[in-house]
Amino acid sequence: METARRTIGVNINNKGVDALVWAPKAQQVSLRICEGRVDLPMQAEAHGYWSLQTDQLKEGDLYRFVLDREKFLPDPASLSQPKGVHEASQVIDLSAFSWTDEHWHNTAMSNYIIYELHTGTFTPEGTFEGIESKLDYLKQLGINAIEIMPVAQFAGERNWGYDGVYPFAVQNSYGGAKALQHLVNACHKKGIAVVLDVVYNHIGPEGNYFGEYGAYFTDKYHTPWGNAINYDDAWCDAVRRYFIENALMWFRDFHIDALRLDAVHAIKDFSPQHLLADIKQYTEQLSRQTGRHFNLIAECDLNDTRFINPLDKGGFGMDAQWIDEFHHALRVTAGGEISGYYADFNGIEHLAKAYNDAYVYNGQFSDHRHKNFGVKTDNPGEQFIVFSQNHDQVGNRMPGERSSQLFSFEMQKLMATAVFVSPFVPMLFMGEEWAESNPFQYFVSHTDPELAEAVRKGRKAEFAAFHAEGEAPDPMSEETFTHSKLQWQLIDEEPHKTMLAYYKKLISLRKYLSVMSNLHRNQVKASADKTIQVLTVQRWFQGEYMVALMNFSNEIQQVSLPATDRKWVKQLDSADPDWNGPAKSPEIADSNSTVSMQPQSALIYCIG
């Protein structure tokens, strides 16, 4: 399979267009040019493919594929759906964009400071152009990588993105393909890498015509979203090619720097070489051809190092993974709920284990899973992405409350500190840096009334145990969507202004203190004092030493600094009145001395 160009779907060349579609069930296939209703017969090729070369199509034209003279369908590899998921596809020339990022080099994963955002709710405009207008703000905050939630075309104009049904088409209401290219180019000009969230574990429900073309799905396995995508059953070769080409397109044609692959544990594949390993191999080949480095990030709730181990060690080669266990342990330690999967976490001791071992569960029995779970890992810190909030952990709560609605101002600062002093890659969820008070709720805009009602009922059933606390927001309501938008005016109001300044300070320390930016996990030691609810994290690197003291209790605690041959110099005190805290701690502290820590506070001292 080629990596230098896209070969499936309709692609412009210097003589017109090449068209290639996989439809093994069809006896006859043609391409319908919508204007004039001209049908161009396609040639049968090996393994169920149909091809066409023609000069009768140009950029901007609308077209459909016609199967057996009776099924007029959008292109499954469409690059544009300007009138929605049920209507005709549009010819787009991805090579026409004038890139100016030839001197851009992807930031090393170990240096990423990631900012997750949703295009529709990040700005009032809800577009890629809106994101572009906030790049200076993100740069000043200290962000060097944005992670954009999925942009594949979905039904309507409101969706988290995980119901996309055209993986190659960029959502038209966000601005489409050309606007995304423009955004990525602008990000690179500002020194910001772009991570794109993609979904290879399922296809959304509305506008899903894949089954009409071929065996894109298999009933061998099931996922929470229905039959699994066919990666290892009969006719799977073309399906694998489809998704590999999709990954390559984002890197090659959109200059995306990293892909975040959603819920890879739901990719069912028992082939001799897993789909993820295939994607990694082709990505490496493209990297050699282009001279650009690309990253693959897996969301995976299996503590299984096969996903992040290199190909030559029998792994799937993912460069990093989201690690929810750090989040769970942190939130329980902070006083959050202990229901559901949180019940597996005992708080501060497990949080210390997360710092030391990456996986909290690395072989012991999990009560929630009712089995021994996880393996030990010596993988480097840059392979683990940690956070105190993300779209799932906020939006999958019934009311969609952010930490600002669940924890005190002091605890929010403490939780942020816990993320940034870790030996892992930190990630923020949009708005957390100013303690955004609007929720982030689940929203969709299906146009099929039956499907819309099914989603409403499903959402209510999911939270049936919580109805005493109120009704789940209607995911179809436009109000649910607009209520989830960020309130940018808050950054100039208190206490949000102070929280934003605190995050800027944290990010600055993370970037410019070598002992904090170094991610060697063998140079970290975390210990928990359960009695007083204080966590001590020590880190060292090339003669520099750091200690982070975190008091998760509601009382003032006396805490000893580690013994050294030099004095400790304070770098940050979350309880300082500069951050709306109650009291200052000493600027200089002696070795092995005791400091008085305010409730729900963090202290960072360094020597060297």
- Contact in structure between 448 and 206 (CB atoms under 8 Å): yes
Q: Is 35 left (phi over 0), alpha (psi -120 to 50) or beta?
A: beta
Catalytic residue among 206, 232, 253, 262: 262
Confidence of residue 340 (pLDDT cuts 50, 70, 90): confident
> How far is CA 349 from each of CA 105, 185, 187, 302, 578, rounded to the nearest angstrom?
40, 44, 40, 21, 31
Is 269 assigned a catalytic role? no
Three-class HEC string of 533-549: CEEEEEEEECCEEEEEE
Give the integer Cα–Cα distance in Å for 121 and 402: 14
Output the DSSP codes for 567-599: -EEEEEETTSGGGT-S----SEE-TT-EEEE-T
Q: Write down all domains in the chain, each with its CATH number in brackets.
A: 9-94 (2.60.40.10), 119-448+477-504 (3.20.20.80), 520-607 (2.60.40.1180)
Assign 3-state DSSP to the chain and report helix, strand, coil percentages, each to 5. Answer: 35, 25, 45
> Is pLDDT at 467 greater than 70 in this prediction?
no
Nearest CA among 204, 224, 194 for reference residue 216: 204
pLDDT at 471: 76
Is 262 assigned a catalytic role? yes
Please indicate if the annotation marks 395 as binding a ligand. yes
Average pLDDT over residues 576-600: 94
pLDDT at 472: 81
pLDDT at 238: 98
Please indicate if the annotation marks 68 as binding a ligand. no
Give the integer Cα–Cα distance in Å for 590 and 608: 14
Please indicate if the annotation marks 86 as binding a ligand. no
Give the integer Cα–Cα distance in Å for 379 and 357: 10
Lowest mean pLDDT among 385-389, 445-449, 594-598: 445-449
Please indicate if the annotation marks 391 as binding a ligand. yes
Please indicate if the annotation marks 421 as binding a ligand. no
> Is pLDDT at 608 greater than 70 in this prediction?
no
Q: Which residues contact 53 (CB under 8 A, 6 or more apart)?
A: 15, 16, 17, 18, 19
Catalytic residue among 147, 299, 304, 576: 299
- Percent of the chain surpassing pLDDT 70: 98
> Is pLDDT at 468 greater than 60 in this prediction?
no
Please indicate if the annotation marks 261 as binding a ligand. yes
Please indicate if the annotation marks 392 as binding a ligand. yes
> Is pLDDT at 580 greater than 70 in this prediction?
yes
Lowest mean pLDDT among 90-99, 435-444, 460-469, 556-565: 460-469
SS3 145: strand
Average pLDDT over residues 188-207: 97
Give the integer Cα–Cα distance in Å for 582 and 595: 15
pLDDT at 327: 97
Give the integer Cα–Cα distance in Å for 308 and 321: 7
> Is pLDDT at 469 greater than 70 in this prediction?
no
Average pLDDT over residues 216-239: 92
Please indicate if the annotation marks 118 as binding a ligand. no
As a whole number of angstroms, the longest Cα–Cα distance in the chain is 84
Peptide bond into 562 cis (omega under 30): no
- Contact in structure between 167 and 152 (CB atoms under 8 Å): yes
Q: Which residue in this structure is represented by tokens 């809800």? A: 126
Give the integer Cα–Cα distance in Å for 410 and 600: 6
> Is pLDDT at 282 greater than 60 in this prediction?
yes
Tell me: the pLDDT tens digits for 506-560? Answer: 999 999 999 999 999 999 999 999 999 999 999 999 999 999 999 999 999 999 9
> Is pLDDT at 466 greater than 50 in this prediction?
no
Mean of all residue pLDDT scores within the chain: 95
> Is pLDDT at 226 greater than 80 in this prediction?
no
pTM exceeding 0.75: yes
> Is pLDDT at 311 greater than 60 in this prediction?
yes
- Contact in structure between 24 and 40 (CB atoms under 8 Å): no
Average pLDDT over residues 428-436: 98
Average pLDDT over residues 227-237: 95
pLDDT at 541: 95
Q: Which residue in this structure is represented by tokens 């992670």? A: 147
Confidence of residue 351 (pLDDT cuts 50, 70, 90): very high
The residue type at 372:
N
The residue type at 30:
S
> How far is CA 355 from each of CA 368, 418, 519, rounded to the nearest angstrom?
22, 10, 11
Q: Which residues pair with 253 in a beta bridge?
A: none
Confidence of residue 396 (pLDDT cuts 50, 70, 90): confident
Q: Is 191 left (phi over 0), alpha (psi -120 to 50) or beta?
A: left
Please indicate if the annotation marks 253 as binding a ligand. no
Tell me: the pLDDT tens digits for 22-78? Answer: 999 999 999 999 999 999 999 999 999 999 999 999 999 999 999 999 999 999 999
> Is pLDDT at 4 greater than 90 in this prediction?
no
- Percent of the chain surpassing pLDDT 90: 91
